[in-house]
Structure 1
């Protein structure tokens, strides 16, 4: 059974040292670094094997010495750039390198996945253990995978960050729309109303919306990795339209009621508070803050369903 190490950010020398410390590279066994370069406008692709002690030999010389024969006490180490060049320009050497490679350093997520698939092509049954978000593809491609417990929070934090950023963006849009509508009739929220929203509604919901925790199972679908992705921008646009339409509807419905008392627009600033326009928009925007907190907190299947976040639901139910 062969054991391989594939790291994402570690320097190849650091990775080799770790491999020696944990027994993957035995005492007295040497390491050969595989150095492959791609084709450029100035040079042809090259493949060289550098001995750990600083010596340098061509690929032919290493092969002639029996590097790929069983029992030869050398381990190969390769980084992500060389692995990519090896796959693209020297595919005939790839199976031989994989048979004796122990350390793969600075491998991109897709390269880890490719490594698992290439091992499967030479009839290896692969088992993968990962503890980072960049291991997802390799875990999925492997015949057997073990996801460390730390994976959950790593998935959970980006999902929570996205939810929180969306909520704060929508919070700003709700308040902007409210103030803009009220300015058209020369009024605004009072300082106490602003304080109530900021301290007791938005802050309370934002603090507890991420307490649901990550899902206990890996999912086949991939969560959005960019704030500028179409689903996120599309949802923000739809929510913004609903916010504007809702506040305008509340404002105009209030002005059409028989009990409506028009605002005295000759009185400036806080002197015209309270008034019916202010009250109607204040009440509706408060419910919009509360509803939007639930909408953006939806994280299933990558996070636990919202009913697992009991503190958030308790706060959410108490606010109305």
Structure 2
């Protein structure tokens, strides 16, 4: 058993600072999760460090921003494995192996690396979505060094920040698609409330799972409910789209309440027919990309990791 022996960390693919690279850590990360069944993020880190028996002076190396190099690389290993479909989350902040993960672990063993992960269909779909987001923002797929060389400082930083946000937004959507439908309904109500639709003294609720007649959330913008927004939330996978009949059904639910304001939110996309029908009925549509962009803008489901100030010399000061 894994717990009865250790792995020589020097046998793993090496990165900078005398430590295994993040994809060199995929192998021990999958091993400890596979053995345990289900592990929390904290326990994954602890067990990987235990089996590697890395010298203490190496376990304390930090990046310039203060984060620990080794734990960051372990985190990257299990997160990329999750994006690629080798791991799944049975509960909040916990991970377990999928059948694909077990298959690839047995097939590649210690040689499993980023090339293996990134050739999986789920990761390919993830990259396609990320590329789509970057394209919408005018960002070409290139590495950090290329961005810094090809642009001046302010443009480089702005582009890098946008690319980083797009990456987080893509990860957000993957997390939402793995969550329960009821969680998604709660999420969209919280998002619209954060956007200010609830008003100062209004209310925001999700409806019961049954008997909602096509309405998943209700936001009263004032105490008397004279201005109300009705929400429908559809948590679909990427290969599914919201079609015109679903817009018709939502409009029927709105008409049954004599409502004029509806928002239809999905994790996937809307067909052209759905978009045309929604425009006729004045229904606001929010697809998966717009949803996660709004979550970043209004900081719902995310937290600010760091902020930086960019300076330039004040020429007027020296006049």
Shorter chain as normaliser: what TM range? under 0.3
Ranked by relative contact order (alpha carbons within 8 Å, sequence separation 6 or more), the top structure is: 1
Structure 2 length-normalised TM: 0.25
